[in-house]
Amino acid sequence: MTLQSMNQRRAGSKAPKYHVLSVLVENKSGVLARVAGMFARRGYNIYSLAVAPTDDDRFSRITVVVDVETAPLEQIVKQLNKLINVIKISELDPRDSIERELMVITVKATYETRGQVIDLASVFEANIIDVGHHEITLSLDEHPERLDDLAELLRSFGIVDLQRTGRVALPKLQPSESPVLRSAG
C-alpha cells in the first residue's frame, strides 16, 4: 500500500493520513534496533524508515512514517520516550514540513521507446544515471507522491527494478521579516 492509496481511502478529509515522526537519538549501536523493536512489539506497521547521523556525530535522526489508523500517536510517543537513547521526538505535519524521498528506477527502453522515457525523465527533472542497450536507470529526489506519479507513468514501459530510500522530513522554515542575504551589486 502506498501513501497515495492511504490518502485516497479517506478522500475529502484534510487531516493527515499518516504520522511523520522525527526522532533524535544518540548515535550508538543498537539504538535503531531498539526503536524498530518497539514498533514491532506494539504491532505498529512502519511504512517508511530512514536514519542517518546529524551534523553532530553524537546524534542520529530517525524519520519514521506510520499510518494513523494503525498507530495512535500518543502511545507511540509514550513508548519512544521510554527508550533511554531517545533525545527528542517531533511530529512533522505534512502541511508544515518539507518531505523528500529518493527513488532509483530501471526501466525497459528499446530504441523505439527510449525518447519517451527520456522525455518523462525531463518532465519530472529526474537524472539519467545509467544507460544500457535496452534499459535506462533514473534517479529522482522529490516529494513521495511525485515519485509515485513517475513510477506509475513508467510502468507501461516495464519496470525492471525500483528502490526507494524512505521519507526524510524537516519542518518548513518561517519567513524572516528582514532578509538575511543581500545582493552583491
Categorize the per-residue pLDDT at 159 as very low, low, confident or very high, splitting at 50, 70 and 90. very high
pTM of the shown model: 0.77
**Segments forming the whole domain that contains residue 55:** 17-91
The domain boundary, picked from 91, 123, 144, lies at: 91
End residue of a domain, out of 48, 73, 91: 91
Residue 40 lies in a domain: yes
Residue 3: alpha-carbon gap to chain centroid: 10
Question: How many CA within 13 A on the CB side of residue 85?
Answer: 18
Query: Taking a C-beta distance cutoff of 8 angstroms, is the pair 4, 11 a contact?
Result: no
Q: Give the pLDDT confidence score for residue 44 in this predicted structure.
A: 86
In a domain, 46, yes or no: yes
Determine the angle formed by the axes of helices 114-124 and 144-154, rounding to 10 degrees.
170
Mark whether 80 and 119 lie in a shared domain: no
Better-predicted residue by pLDDT, 141 or 2 = 141
Last residue of a domain, one of 56, 76, 91: 91
Q: List the CATH number of the domain containing 128.
A: 3.30.70.1150
Q: What's the pLDDT at 67?
A: 81
Read off the pLDDT of residues 125-145 as tens digits, 9 standing for 90 and up: 999 999 999 999 999 999 999
In this structure, the answer to whether residues 35 and 75 fall within a common structural domain is: yes
Confidence of residue 31 (pLDDT cuts 50, 70, 90): very high
158 within domain boundaries: yes
pLDDT per position as a tens digit, 103-112: 999 999 999 9
Grid coordinates standing for 157? 514501459
Q: In CATH, what number is assigned to the domain containing residue 79?
A: 3.30.70.260
Banded model confidence at residue 6, pLDDT cuts 50, 70, 90: very low
Domain count, the chain: 2
- Closest-CA residue to 140 (of 129, 131, 155, 156): 129
> Taking 70 as the threshold, does the pLDDT of residue 5 lie above it?
no
Same domain for 110 and 127, yes or no, is yes
Model pLDDT, residue 19: 87
pLDDT beyond 80 at 63 = yes
Residue 153 has pLDDT above 80, yes or no: yes
